[in-house]
Amino acid sequence: MILTRKGSVLHIDDSARTLLFLATHGANPAGFGRVNLAITIPPVLRQLCANLDGIFQGWEAPPPSFSHTNGSGRFVFRAYWLQSPTVYLEPETQGYSPGEDGLIGVVIEHQEPLRLQLQRKLQVWRLSPREQEVGLALAEGLSQATIAARLNVSIQTVMTYVRRLYAKLEVHNRAELLDKLRHDVPTSASRSSIAR
């Protein structure tokens, strides 16, 4: 995002808009791949601009960064000068005054918990809700007996879900499953065969 010295938005790209929406609301609205909603800039972003400006002017101000955590993960906002304001010397006050022309960039870093990443990947593979639960439990390192107790089913039922899960994802063990969930995205050919 690019903001003025006073915190007004000059430019916000789609990824920043989505991250800002996730940080504010915790999740994408159902059915939206992209967020096209009008974004209201939270007061904390204006405060980051003020902090950066205060540091520029030599005042004591907090760092121009902010961290926020919600159900979608942790979001870290950092402000920095893209173009610092022009400084005008004022002989009558024996100081200087910054102009209004500074540009501030704000970077939003999103740190998503591993469980959410894995859950999103499992949904892409179009697994049943129960297969997704078993997949997440396997990724957490739980034994089949523990998974059976957690889901209130028999160990044989869990073994059946594990076999189906491994077959659909074309893996042979837990390590391959975790590797596939962390790194692979199904191709359209695999998605259509999985969906059948």
CB 148 within 8 A of CB 179: no
CB 120 within 8 A of CB 19: no
Asked if residue 108 and residue 135 are part of one domain, the reply reads: no
- The amino acid that residue 71 corresponds to is G
Q: Where are the beta strands (DSSP E) in the chain?
A: 2-4, 9-11, 65-70, 73-83, 87-90, 95-98, 103-111
**Among residues 66, 93, 112, which one ends one of the domains?**
112
Asked if residue 133 and residue 99 are part of one domain, the reply reads: no
**Among residues 97, 112, 127, which one ends one of the domains?**
112
Asked if residue 180 and residue 95 are part of one domain, the reply reads: no
Asked if residue 107 and residue 35 are part of one domain, the reply reads: yes
Asked if residue 86 and residue 13 are part of one domain, the reply reads: yes
User: What ranges in the chain are assigned the alpha helix state H?
Assistant: 14-25, 43-56, 114-124, 129-139, 144-151, 155-169, 174-183, 188-195
Residue 181: which CATH number?
1.10.10.10
User: Is residue 7 within a helix (H) or strand (E), and if so which, with residue range?
Assistant: none
Which residues fall within 8 angstroms of residue 17, CB to CB, at 6 or more apart? 35, 37, 39
Asked if residue 119 and residue 107 are part of one domain, the reply reads: no
Asked if residue 153 and residue 172 are part of one domain, the reply reads: yes
In this prediction the pTM is: 0.61
Asked if residue 100 and residue 160 are part of one domain, the reply reads: no
Asked if residue 121 and residue 105 are part of one domain, the reply reads: no
CB 85 within 8 A of CB 102: yes
**Among residues 112, 144, 163, which one ends one of the domains?**
112
Radius of gyration of the chain (CA): 24
Which residues fall within 8 angstroms of residue 76, CB to CB, at 6 or more apart? 65, 66, 67, 108, 109, 111
Both tokens of 134, joined, read 């078993």
Asked if residue 102 and residue 13 are part of one domain, the reply reads: yes
Domain count, the chain: 2
Which range marks the domain in which residue 175 is found?
115-195
Asked if residue 134 and residue 108 are part of one domain, the reply reads: no
Asked if residue 48 and residue 126 are part of one domain, the reply reads: no
Q: How far apart are CA 174 and CA 161, in angstroms?
A: 13
Could you read off the pLDDT tens digit of each residue along the chain, which spans 196 residues? 999 888 888 899 988 888 888 888 876 554 445 545 556 678 888 899 999 988 988 889 899 999 988 888 889 999 999 988 877 766 665 555 566 788 999 999 988 887 787 887 888 877 888 988 999 899 888 999 999 999 999 999 999 999 999 998 899 998 898 888 877 655 543 443 444 3
